[in-house]
Structure 1
Amino acid sequence: MRLIPPLARAIDWTPLCAVALTMTTVAAIASPDPGVLLLVLRMTAVLLGSAAAFALVDPIAASTAAVPVPRWIRQWLRCLLALAAAAAAWSPVFTVASTRSTAPLPLPGLAVEAATCVAVALTGSALAVRRLPGTAAALAGLLTQITLIACTLALPTALQPWPGVGDPHWTPAHQGWAVALPCVLALLARANTDPTGRRPTHHPPGTTGSAEGFSG
């Protein structure tokens, strides 16, 4: 638990805060039509995913490479912090939207959509950060999101995972979301493993050992 405060300080929270403030404002001034507010919530989920991807960018990777904490622990803590922050940012947007909407907005289905969008971006970034430096890894998370969304929009209407409120395809679509989320999290877990696939080796004081397996 002592690792959480320094990791939290190292993460750039500006993108998440900017998305939260902007989209809460948009939800407050948008039309109360449920279709419009549904679009706002989905845009929020995508933007939060893109912003959360920046949490995996480690600006001090060179200095943390030799710390006696496995890379996968540090990466998972970053992911959990990003997921928690994204949930905290999404909640007020949903609250404002559901309060203003002229029809109920289904919380469970929309929450699963948002969680999956954030997890997809984190997975794309987690895979990229193993090879790409800095902001490029976060942008890879955004590119992953855009690519997958474009693919879903190319599907026949009956198979698209973005049904409107009251659409007869809502239930089957969100059954698909419920299956997709654990699959994405499993891929994220794989992406957060040590790149070498080996356990870190500890060296006696006064000796120099390879930092391979600790890079993040």
Structure 2
Amino acid sequence: MRVAAVDLAGAVWRTLPRRLLAAAGALGLLIAAVPAATGAEPTPWQTLTLLRGVALTGALGLAFLLDDPARHLTAPVPVRRPVRQALRVALVAPLAALWWTAALLLVPSASRPPAGAITLEAAVVALLALAGAAAAVRLTEGARPGPAVAAALLLAAVLAPLSLPEDWALFVAPGDPRWAAAHDRWAVLLAGAVVAGAWCGPEPLGRRRWRGAG
């Protein structure tokens, strides 16, 4: 069974959009390194905005994680789609954690926001991207939902700061009195993204019936 698991992990690894993920990761690190490369001394708000841009860049890459050009060929295999999707996430998660740690270390420590809070924000954005990709896989027949999910995530990132009322603001500065309350809302979003991703994991009901009939 261990050999089968290793073989499955290897097969899933080969199907990952590695070049796209690497490009998004490299771009994110380049953004984080701008102050060090230019000798700038950004304010805390500028550094926070920079890290939020890094997090969004990484999430845009993760929006493509569930793209599977062979989706309709792999549907009848014994390993169910939720297992394959979970394995994709598990293979990428350690690398994503290292990448985010590197991004935090690249920005100036003097203006770096609280690591736990900004990491919570980054985790939520990443999980929303994955949940959106899982929803697209469950609700549509497309093999490459990544571009549409990335576009929706980018649109939400632009509209959210403009459309949310001040009492529900998410993008606030560390010195803002709303900082703690905003991150309570980020925690709620985190739970919602996890639940949404879990709900979207199983095969569509119609496909399960088709497989059972076969």
Say if 2:21 and 2:62, in contact at 8 Å, map to a contact too: yes
Query: Of residues 115, 118, 124 in structure 1, which corresponds to 2:123?
Result: 115
Partners in 2 of 1:167 and 1:133 — Cα distance? 43
Q: Which residue of 2 aligns with 1:142?
A: 150
Preserved contact between residue 129 and residue 149 of structure 2 (Cα < 8 Å): yes
Which string of whole-angstrom CA distances, capped at 9 and with x for unpartnered residues, describes residues 177-200 of structure 1? 112101111100111111117488
Distance 1:24 1:44, change over 3 A: same
In the aligned structure 1, how far is the partner of 2:63 from the partner of 2:94? 13
Deviation at 1:62, TM superposition (A): 3.3
Unmatched runs of 5 consecutive residues or more in structure 1: 203-208, 211-216
Using the TM superposition, give the Cα deviation of residue 132 of structure 1 relative to its aligned residue in structure 2, in angstroms: 4.2
Contact 1:124–1:140 (8 Å) recurs in 2: no
- Contact 2:127-2:193 within 8 A present in 1 as well: yes
Instruction: Please give the secondary structure, in 1, of the residue aligned with 2:188.
Output: helix
Q: Retained in 1: the 8 A contact 2:28–2:58?
A: no
Contact 2:124 2:190 in 1 (8 A): yes
Aligned to 1:179: 188
Corresponding residue to 2:51 among 34, 41, 52: 41
**Quick one: which amino acid aligns to residue 130 of structure 2?**
L
The 8 Å contact of residues 71 and 143 in structure 2, kept in 1 or not, is answered as: no
How far apart are 1:91 and its partner, in Å?
1.8
In structure 1, C-alpha distance between the alignment counterparts of 2:143 and 2:102, rounded to whole Å: 30
Aligned pairs for 1:114-133 within 5 A: 114-130=122-138, 131-133=140-142
**Cα offset, 1:48, TM superposition:** 1.1
Cα RMSD over matched residues?
2.2
The aligned runs of 1:52-63 (5 Å cut-off) are 52-63=62-73
Q: How many Å apart are 1:176 and its aligned residue?
A: 1.0
1:13-51 CA-to-partner distances (Å, cap 9, x unmatched) read 222222222222222222332222211111111111110
Q: Is the 8 A contact 2:48 2:112 kept in 1?
A: no
Q: Sequence identity of aligned pairs in percent?
A: 30
1:72–1:199 distance in 2 versus 1, CA, 3 Å:
farther
Structure 1 residues 39 and 133: CA distance shift in structure 2, 3 A: same
2:199 pairs with 1:194 = no
Is this contact kept in 2: 1:27–1:40, CA < 8 A? yes
CA distance, structure 2, for counterparts of residue 71 and residue 104 of structure 1? 40
Paired residues, what number? 201
Distance apart, 1:92 and its partner CA: 0.9
CA distance in 2, matches of 1:107, 1:70: 37
Superposition misfits of 4+ residues, deviation over 6 angstroms: none
Q: Shift in Å at residue 4 of structure 1?
A: 1.6
